[in-house]
Structure 1
């Protein structure tokens, strides 16, 4: 908060320094203001010896009606009380008064701080999302590694089963072949039966 008010005061002092400079050549228009003095007298004519109509407070917006660059006075119209008269040229500026600028600057500063807080909040949200995404990626990577190990394990088991099955088939084939050979040997050594015709000889 202290930094905020220091910033506002520095800007206000810069405007005051600008207001102390020589009065520029001002053309007739409505974008002008009474400088930041306490008040300025408005006269019925272009001089101090003319009757005073009243005073205009600092920062009051005015319209320049006539401006003689060689004269010390200019004709203006007061936007607040709708008066037409003459004021000293040195008290007229094309810059908005500090009294009117201060709320605008304060509002801009508040908006900037609110925007900064919003950006910080958004940045925090994005950081949380990034952290969650990284955690999810790490979890998925771990699951992928575990699935790869499981697939490798199942592939090894399948290969072993195929090898066992082949060994079983070879074993069974060998047994069948051995049984056939053994049966052939046994049949070879069995005595042959004599035919009926041999009994009459």
Structure 2
């Protein structure tokens, strides 16, 4: 029997020591919460022996009105129902509850998804523009190649025409020169007319 009582006393002391380790050093302020996954009682005073005013669900946003470090209790005010009472300090945290984090995270997720959809849409539009630019570039390259071939053909035709024109000019010049030489030869063989003075000699 004594051993049972000794074990109970040790367990009680261990719970008290655990409570002292987890007691947060918080000043009176708002933006605090009841820890998640807990269901605690609100008392009318700073201790378990005070009358229970009701229960406080996990994740409930609260305002700390007073912190009794000796009794390890805090006087709080609920944001939902406006009740005021005392709860154990170890069950109070300054981390936002999951219940309040969920809509914020959901909103951020929705914004991220909308941003992602916008980026995907923009990416698709840029891909279409890139594809269109590549097609235009290929068309311009084809036109450039065709124009280069036409210019080459025209240059070759013009060069041939110049050669033909030069041949014609050389031929005409040769014909004129030949005709002049032939005329000179003919003139040398023609008999000269005698003058009147030579007839009376």
What residue in structure 2 maps to residue 19 of structure 1?
A: none
Taking the aligned partners of 1:102 and 1:79, their CA distance within structure 2 comes to: 18
Say whether 1:163 aligns with 2:163. Answer: yes
Q: Secondary structure at the match of 1:65?
A: strand
C-alpha contact 1:23 1:93 (8 A) present in aligned 2: no
Q: CA deviation at 1:30?
A: 1.0
What residue in structure 1 maps to residue 86 of structure 2?
A: 86
Q: CA deviation at 1:89?
A: 2.2
Runs of 4+ in 1 over 6 A off after TM superposition: none
Taking the aligned partners of 1:109 and 1:102, their CA distance within structure 2 comes to: 10
C-alpha contact 2:35 2:91 (8 A) present in aligned 1: yes
Q: CA deviation at 1:107?
A: 1.8
Taking the aligned partners of 2:146 and 2:23, their CA distance within structure 1 comes to: 81
C-alpha contact 1:53 1:85 (8 A) present in aligned 2: yes
Larger Rg computed on CA atoms: 2
Kindly report the root-mean-square deviation, in angstroms, between the aligned alpha carbons of the 2 structures.
2.3
Taking the aligned partners of 2:148 and 2:121, their CA distance within structure 1 comes to: 40
Q: Secondary structure at the match of 2:103?
A: helix
What residue in structure 1 maps to residue 105 of structure 2?
A: 105
Deviations 1:135-155 (A, max 9, x none): 221111222111211111111
Taking the aligned partners of 1:187 and 1:58, their CA distance within structure 2 comes to: 138
Taking the aligned partners of 1:125 and 1:39, their CA distance within structure 2 comes to: 53
What residue in structure 1 maps to residue 30 of structure 2?
A: 30
Aligned length in residues: 181
Deviations 1:154-183 (A, max 9, x none): 111111111111111111111001111111
What residue in structure 2 maps to residue 179 of structure 1?
A: 179
Taking the aligned partners of 1:75 and 1:140, their CA distance within structure 2 comes to: 80
- Farther off after superposition, 27-36 or 151-160: 27-36
Q: Secondary structure at the match of 1:135?
A: helix
Taking the aligned partners of 1:99 and 1:84, their CA distance within structure 2 comes to: 21
Q: CA deviation at 1:86?
A: 1.0
What residue in structure 2 maps to residue 200 of structure 1?
A: 200
Change (3 A) 1:23 1:156: farther
What residue in structure 2 maps to residue 73 of structure 1?
A: 73
- Consecutive unaligned residues in structure 2, runs of 5 or more: 1-21
C-alpha contact 2:46 2:68 (8 A) present in aligned 1: no
Taking the aligned partners of 1:54 and 1:68, their CA distance within structure 2 comes to: 20
Deviations 1:101-129 (A, max 9, x none): 22222222222222222222222222222
Taking the aligned partners of 1:171 and 1:30, their CA distance within structure 2 comes to: 113
What residue in structure 1 maps to residue 5 of structure 2?
A: none
